Amino acid sequence: MTPIFRTDLLIVGGTAAGTAAAAAARRAAPGARILLVDKGQDLAYSTCELPMYAGGQIANEEALVRYTPEAFAAAFGVDVWTGAEVVAFGPRDRSARLADGRSVSWQRLILAVGARAHIPDFALLGPGVFVLRTLDDARRIRDRFHSAPPAHVVVIGAGYTGLEAAAALGHDIRVSIVAPGGRLLPSGLSEPLSRVVAGRLTAGGRMTIRAARATGLDRAPDGRPLAVRTDDGEKIGCGAVIVATGIRPNTEVATSLGLRLDDIGAIRVTTAMRTNKPHVWASGDCAAIPEAITGRPRWIPLAMNAFRTGRVAGRNAVFSLAPSGGRPATLAPAVAAFAVRLAGLDLAHAGLRLEEALAAGFTAEAVDIVGASHSRTLGGQDVHVRLVFDARKGLLLGAETVGPPGSALRMNTVAALLRLGASVDDLEASDTVYHPDVSPLHDPLRVAARTAQKLLARSPVAR
């Protein structure tokens, strides 16, 4: 019989949240036995740079790897097992079973199992059909596009992974993006701003955006893709397909633990990253965390949240074993904030989109303006801004920008204000730097805030 490995803390999943949890747990409890397991062979790498590695803009894989498993184990004094997939948990005896038959007995458990690509049945992966989620996925795409570059690739889905893959791979080959309604970055950008981005992406003629839903894939007998079929009856011939149709929390493995999940399957946690079960914490893309504007749990699968929630879970899980002085850690409610650069355009958003704000019960409205990145005499370019706000109280609820490189950093101001529960007036009153070469006297964010103020002044709803 395989012996049972005993540990104080078991962390399932490496990459971002799991490694952050392990490092924080080690700092908080120098003597604790910590085991970090990951089903992949790579433990700690920059997921966000995968598109650039797949597309060849980042030449060396070493540049992506933060720690090899051995280096991580040595740096933090933890046991690290890679190629170690947890397939089941003993609901009553605090144990975990691995795919290779090994068993682990733990006192405290952190789930940092992340998210996985959601792949429609018709698009199952095979030769020439890829997803981009892990370093292994990026290696596969890179190898294929280097050794036998297809003349035309179809990207199914226009979330940021699909768009980034399209931009990274589309330097030398034709790319078609298939997206329902032609909407780009639907989780972050409104229709008008999506159109601005579409205009830029398709301007060079190498990229096409097909406003349709992909419904099927014709394949050669050896599995290679021949054409993507769409719901408007078209067949788009191609030599490779990137499936970027969204992600889902990876929580099936934890079913037997009886954890409380939200409606998309993310684990509900407190600001201490505690689940509803004693001895179990969760962090990163598998968890739904308290959100700052609505005060409700929200799934925000982004890198910063993975690191932050990992640190909180790591400290608290070992703190509960043997309080080491100080206080347990608390996660400040999060603001969803994201930016991406595509074809020389920065796209950024923070907080709630108009639809999300309305669904959350706000009397939300939006204004759209176009300002300048800096003096137009000195080459300033359009910065498109959408501001979402509450028409009753004048509260700031969210923002989107599309503009030249560097313009996305404005979103950090918005995200900071959103966290503080600021109003449109606060944004308008914000001090912004002015230099003709850097930023205009009337920053586009403040122009948008002033436009919203005018609307609020006319609003029949008393504030």
Ligand X SMILES: Cc1cc2nc3c(=O)[nH]c(=O)nc-3n(C[C@H](O)[C@H](O)[C@H](O)COP(=O)(O)OP(=O)(O)OC[C@H]3O[C@@H](n4cnc5c(N)ncnc54)[C@H](O)[C@@H]3O)c2cc1C
Q: Which residues bind ligand X (CB under 6 A)?
A: 12-18, 37-40, 47-48, 50-51, 85-86, 112-115, 132-133, 161, 250, 253, 284-285, 301-304, 306, 338
Output the smallest distance, CB 62 to ligand X, in A.
Answer: 18
Q: Which is nearer to ligand X, 165 or 364 (CB)?
A: 165
Q: Which is nearer to ligand X, 66 or 224 (CB)?
A: 66
Q: Which 8-state DSSP code applies to residue 292?
A: T
- Kindly give, in sequence order, each residue whose CB lies less than 8 Å from that of residue 16, ignoring residues fewer than 6 positions away: 47, 112, 114, 284, 303, 306, 307, 310
* Largest Cα span, the chain: 77
Contact (Cβ atoms closer than 8 angstroms) between residue 381 and residue 401: no
Output the smallest distance, CB 151 to ligand X, in A.
Answer: 24
Contact (Cβ atoms closer than 8 angstroms) between residue 39 and residue 85: yes
Q: Which is nearer to ligand X, 285 or 400 (CB)?
A: 285
Contact (Cβ atoms closer than 8 angstroms) between residue 300 and residue 291: yes
Output the smallest distance, CB 271 to ligand X, in A.
Answer: 17
Q: Which is nearer to ligand X, 21 or 196 (CB)?
A: 21
Give the C-alpha separation, 342 to 189, whole Å: 14
Output the smallest distance, CB 42 to ligand X, in A.
Answer: 7
Contact (Cβ atoms closer than 8 angstroms) between residue 66 and residue 46: yes
Query: Residue 205: beta bridge partners?
Result: none
Query: Residue 21: beta bridge partners?
Result: none
Dihedral of CA atoms 189, 195, 196, 197 in degrees, nearest 10, equals 70
Q: Which two tokens stand for residue 263?
A: 């409606």
Measured in whole angstroms, how far is the alpha carbon of residue 30 from the centre of its chain?
32
Output the smallest distance, CB 154 to ligand X, in A.
Answer: 18
Q: Which 8-state DSSP code applies to residue 423?
A: B
Give the C-alpha separation, 216 to 228, whole Å: 6
Output the smallest distance, CB 162 to ligand X, in A.
Answer: 10
Q: Which is nearer to ligand X, 349 or 384 (CB)?
A: 349
Output the smallest distance, CB 102 to ligand X, in A.
Answer: 12
Output the smallest distance, CB 18 to ligand X, in A.
Answer: 6
For 333, other C-beta atoms within 10 Å of its C-beta total 17
Q: Which 8-state DSSP code applies to residue 333?
A: P
Cα angle at 157 between 151 and 159, to 5 degrees? 120
Q: Which is nearer to ligand X, 112 or 217 (CB)?
A: 112
Q: Which is nearer to ligand X, 11 or 293 (CB)?
A: 11
Output the smallest distance, CB 323 to ligand X, in A.
Answer: 26
DSSP string, 188-224: T--HHHHHHHHHHHHTTSSEEEEES-EEEEEE-TTS-
Q: Which is nearer to ligand X, 338 or 362 (CB)?
A: 338
Output the smallest distance, CB 369 to ligand X, in A.
Answer: 26
Give the C-alpha separation, 351 to 328, whole Å: 27
User: Which of 248, 240, 283 lies closest to 265 in space, CA to CA?
Assistant: 248
Q: Which is nearer to ligand X, 273 or 367 (CB)?
A: 273
Q: Which is nearer to ligand X, 253 or 445 (CB)?
A: 253
Strands (E), 240-361: 240-243, 247-249, 267-268, 280-282, 287-290, 297-298, 337-342, 345-351
Q: What share of the chain is helix, strand, coil (3-state, %, to 5)?
A: 30, 30, 40
Give the C-alpha separation, 79 to 86, whole Å: 15
Output the smallest distance, CB 463 to ligand X, in A.
Answer: 34
Give the C-alpha separation, 225 to 237, whole Å: 8
AA letter at 119: I
Output the smallest distance, CB 132 to ligand X, in A.
Answer: 5
Q: Which is nearer to ligand X, 229 or 268 (CB)?
A: 268
Q: Which is nearer to ligand X, 164 or 356 (CB)?
A: 164
